[in-house]
Amino acid sequence: MPADFVRDKDAVSSCALMAEITAWAIDQGKTLYELLQDIYLEYGFSKEKMKYIVRKGKSGAEEIEQIMTKFRNDPPKELGGSPMEWVKDYETLSAKNLITREKIEINQKITSNVLQFFTQDGTKISVRPSGTEPKIKFYFEVTGELTSRSGFDDAEKKAEAKIDAVMDELGL
């Protein structure tokens, strides 16, 4: 997003910002793809993917609520071969370290029916029911190693395989 706040989905401003980034990349003699690879080389590689499950009607809404309750009461202990470290619950504004048992408050004013899971290897999974549709959404982010542009495709494949494995573990 072009700013640190969003009043609504802001496609026009985002497109203008993307055009500016593209012009800058061309001035540097790079494609956007090369610029993205350079960002990954400097700051670390990560890949994101979203999956949603549709459950219609009253029974669907109840099932989505049961999924959230199960994740709240019994979070995964491990995902993708990495122990679960932190569970953040934005409905209660609390976070718990499953390894050290440390508990902290999340410092924000507004609650939301969102859970986030963080493994020791940097994998992050966010889960939330849609506010407007009969679905529950899962957002996955995994990190990987990238030491050269030539390794990009391999890092991408490994990250995709890890996300797929985590989705399988969660039964998605």
For residue range 49-94, list pLDDT tens digits in order: 999 999 998 898 899 999 999 999 999 999 989 999 999 999 999 9
- The answer to whether residue 2 scores a pLDDT higher than 70 is no
CA distances from 141 to 10, 49, 50, 57, 137 (A): 23, 7, 9, 30, 13
The interaxial angle of helices 152-169 and 32-43, nearest 10 deg, is 70
Report the C-alpha gap between 128 and 147 in whole angstroms. Answer: 34
Report the C-alpha gap between 99 and 94 in whole angstroms. Answer: 16
CATH 3.30.310 region(s) of the chain? Answer: 44-169
Predicted confidence at residue 4, as pLDDT, reads 65
Predicted confidence at residue 112, as pLDDT, reads 93
- The answer to whether residue 8 scores a pLDDT higher than 70 is no
CB atoms within 10 A of CB 101: 7
Per-position b or e across 73-97, b if 16+ CB within 10 A of its CB: eebbeebbebebbbbbbbeebebbe
For the chain, the average pLDDT equals 92
Report the C-alpha gap between 119 and 113 in whole angstroms. Answer: 20
For the whole model, what pTM was predicted?
A: 0.85
The structure tokens listed for 103 are 């508990």
Class of domain 44-169: alpha beta
